[in-house]
Amino acid sequence: MPELSLMLIPLAVAALVGLLIATIAVVTACVLAIGNQITQARTDKARLFVDLYRQYDTREMHTAIYELIEWREAFGSRFDHQFAVEFAKQSELGHRLDRARRAVNRYFTTVAKLKTAGYINRTTASILLNTQGLNVFYEIVMPMNDEKYGRLAASRKLVEVLKSIRPRYLNGGFG
């Protein structure tokens, strides 16, 4: 009769093979889970990008941008002060301009806040800022904000974030 230790060798080998298979299964599951998380993170970032871009590409935003440009052209260097006058009078024009100012302001400050918080990277922020509305934000909305609220440090910090990414929109046309 074979010795007991020789009979245990096939059982030990089978146990080791089973342990190896279980280890491979666990490692494979971990790799797939990490891959799934990476894919989900990319999907979430893409969805955020599309949602933000859709926010910019609306009739409300286009109307707001054109209205603000026309307002500045009509009043020249005093457009921001004249806005404050109209807003203080609670006129329909003052409210309409304020809605336009808020729409443009909301989009660009959202991009700055998301970049600051790390939800989007510099490249994504740069793509989102590559619009004519960026110049409207810097040159028209920010002076209107200053007239309405004063030079708020928090607003200035957001503008600095944006200008460090894209100081101006240079591509021309209505983006």
Residue 172 pLDDT class (50, 70, 90 cuts): low
Q: Domain range holding 162?
A: 59-175
Q: How far is CA 135 from CA 20, 80, 106, 153, 163, in A?
A: 62, 15, 14, 20, 11
Higher pLDDT, 159 or 10: 159
For the chain, how many structural domains are there in total?
2
Domain check: are 125 and 173 in the same one?
Answer: yes
Q: What is the pTM of this model?
A: 0.75
Domain check: are 124 and 157 in the same one?
Answer: yes
pLDDT at position 154 is 86
Cβ-contact 96, 67 below 8 angstroms: yes
User: Average pLDDT over the chain, rounded to whole?
Assistant: 87
Domain check: are 67 and 151 in the same one?
Answer: yes
Residue 129 lies in a domain: yes
Kindly state the average pLDDT of the residues 136-158. Answer: 91
Residue 79: partners with Cβ closer than 8 Å, 6 or more residues away: 71, 72, 140, 143, 144
Cβ-contact 169, 175 below 8 angstroms: yes
Phi, psi for 152 (deg, rounded to 5): -75, 135
| Residue entry with tokens 């809605």 | 99
